Amino acid sequence: MALSAVLAFGGLQWGIPSVQAASLFSDDFESGSAGNWTSTTGTWSVVQDGSSHVYYQSGSSEGRTSAGSSSWSDYSVQADVKVDNFNGNNRTYVCGRYTDGNNYYAASISNSNGGTLEIRKKAGGESTTLATKTGYAITAGTVYAVKLELSGDSINMYVNNVLQLNAHDNILSSGGIGLIAYKTSAKFDNVIVSGTTTAPTSTPTATATATVAPTTSPTAAPTSTPSPTATAAPTATPTPTPTSTPTPTPTPTPTSTPVSGTLYVAPNGAAGNAGTIGSPTTLRSALTKIAAGGTIYMRGGTYSFSSPVTIERDNSGTSSSRKNIVAYGSEKPVLDFSGESFASTERGLQIFGHYWNVKGLEVKGAGDNGIFIGGNYNIIENVETHHNRDSGLQISRYASTATSMSDWPSYNQVIGVYSHDNFDPDNGEDADGFAAKLTIGPGNVFDKCISAWNTDDGWDLYTKTDTGPIGIVTIKNSVAYKNGQTSDGNTTTNSDGNGFKLGGDKIAVNHIVTNSVAFQNKKHGFTYNSNPGSIQLTNSTSWSNGQSNFAFDTGTHMFTNNLSFAGASSDKTSGTDVSSTNVWWKSNASANGKGLVVSSADFVSLTPSVVRNADGSFTLGNFLKLATGSDLIGSGTPSGTNIGATIQ
């Protein structure tokens, strides 16, 4: 039952020069032995299956077996999996960072709900689903290549070499691999572990010769290398997978050898400098020199620009070796584009390439978008973008010649980004916090983001007739508030002021919004904006918006566990009220189809509070938190799920 597999070690690599994927472990069981494995429960044996030997768990209870080293941290584990008998709707796991039966991450397959894929965590004996996808056909007797990829806090699940799910969690940092057949009879073969266990112990320290440093920031080196933001992912519907994955344009051979380790840039850096911590270069120079897998560390201070900084289309990392732009330690690099004129060509940071990670920066003052993403598979983390003269961050095609969706930006992740006070001085109609609109492909995700005080919308997913449908966008664990004017009161009559605007031009796109909050926006909290499709809106809260908290006039939308309270006008809710779990604001009252009635007493506090932390995460504290004894607690679906968002 052997399946050929192409394994790529993916994820974020911080300060590690020339990282290469390494083969850590493999077992095809053709020796007839499972001597590399330690089984603790179940009935395990090596048996013949067709022309191959496989590792078989035949018991009806949970079977667990493990291998590898407890020191492994960042790696991928893949196995061919064939379930002979699901014994109902039970699961089979391929596990990583496996310590014992009570501590591991897992890529799970089951035949429930038409086939279900999950990324699961078990820590301290408590199981949590980090990401899930239903409707993926899983049938008994069929071989699936299942891969779990772990890098920092990023967790990916692949099936048959196609990325299906992504989650973020950092509770478990290392461990071996495991195979689990939870009450199933399952066969495993061709187990391969690939990756690297190398990890930086500290950021390179300035030597005695490192005398040149920015005058606007400290010269002392931080105590540790910057690491990916720890972001525990909730149970959420994952990014849909397209029928084909866009292939990035390869980086051409440069005229000089790219730097494969680290480069340092500073506000007083010079293009001709070596790019060491003592002789920093410029950002534009570093962008042309850094190799895949390398990191550009930006020292703190203000970098002033009068034209866009562009990562060109042919300047890309790879799935296993990203290119990184990272704030140095706790310092704050500020990219100030105030020297630009107000014009559509005057953007700030333009990312046309693929597989870049940008973390810890501040971008402001651009003549158009602060950050513009036109490439694929990029990650923007813990960034603040503000006071730009169009949207703070926009995802759209990199050029007007990109007329096919296969050329449109796809699979980008925007995590922990704060976009605020963006103002369009022309008519106020274009300055959104986040714009993923007009010409974008599938798989773009916003997670743990804040959009506030923008003159137009918090999120704008607009489509128009002449370019057609866009890819499905996922928004989760995010908040939009006070959009429609800036924090100092600037507004225009043309500014919309929606929190989450999810469509346009009556074009159906089935966007996904989960565990998000809208409050005190000028217009609607959440609106379909003429999108007649099946938007999935789950466990989200909308309070005190200028018009409707939820405005979904037409469509077959799917509503689950949403909460609306104290809107200026009644909600419009065309679609399915799943299990009557949604509490709508209609006729000046908040109630659901089961007779549950909500009042201000159901909340600990209705005083707005949003506090953003240094790592990009944020909390609402007691604001909109359900009070002890509220009937909203545990009244959702599945049974025991709360109604409304949980962002605390």
Q: 420: which strand partners?
A: 386, 452
Burial 106-139 (b: 16+ CB within 10 A, else e): bbbbbbeeeebbbbbbbbeeeebbbbbbeebebe
Catalytic one of 147, 437, 448, 501: 501
Tokens standing for residue 472: 């499905």
In whole angstroms, what separates CA 439 from the centre of its chain? 20
Residue 272 three-state SS: coil
Residue type, 199: A
Q: Whole-angstrom Cα distance, residue 66 to residue 554?
A: 52
DSSP state of 250: P
DSSP-based three-state secondary structure for 58: coil
How far is Cα of residue 372 from the mean position of the Cα atoms in its chain?
Answer: 17
Give yes or no for a contact between 108 and 118, defined as CB atoms under 8 angstroms apart: yes
Amino acid at 357: N
**Residue 641 identity (one-letter amino acid):** T
Residue 376's nearest CA partner among 291, 300, 443, 449 is 443
**Pairwise CA distance, residues 573 & 575, whole Å:** 6
User: For residue 278, which phi and psi values (nearest 5 degrees)?
Assistant: -90, -15
317 contacts: CB under 8 Å, gap ≥ 6? 292, 293, 323, 353, 354, 355, 356
Contacts of 216 (CB under 8 A, 6+ apart): 267, 300, 301, 302
Quick one: tokens of 378? 């990029």
- Per-residue b/e over 10-40, b at no fewer than 16 CB within 10 Å? bbbbbbbeebebeebbebebeeeebebbebe
> How far apart are alpha carbons 305 and 373 in whole angstroms?
19
Using DSSP's 3-state secondary structure scheme, residue 332 falls into: coil
Cα 172 to Cα 73, 95, 615, distances in angstroms: 9, 12, 19
Nearest to 313 by CA among 373, 379, 363, 259: 373
Tokens in use for 19?
């990282």
With contact defined as beta carbons under 8 Å apart, do 625 and 604 qualify?
A: yes
Task: Report the SS3 class of residue 112.
Answer: helix
Strands 52-57 and 185-196 come out as antiparallel
CA distance 648 to 543: 16
Question: Do 551 and 575 touch, CB atoms closer than 8 A?
Answer: no
| C-alpha to C-alpha distance for 428 and 383, rounded to whole angstroms | 23
CA–CA distance, 152 with 105 (Å, rounded to integer): 13
Q: Is 501 a catalytic residue?
A: yes
Residues catalogued as catalytic: 501
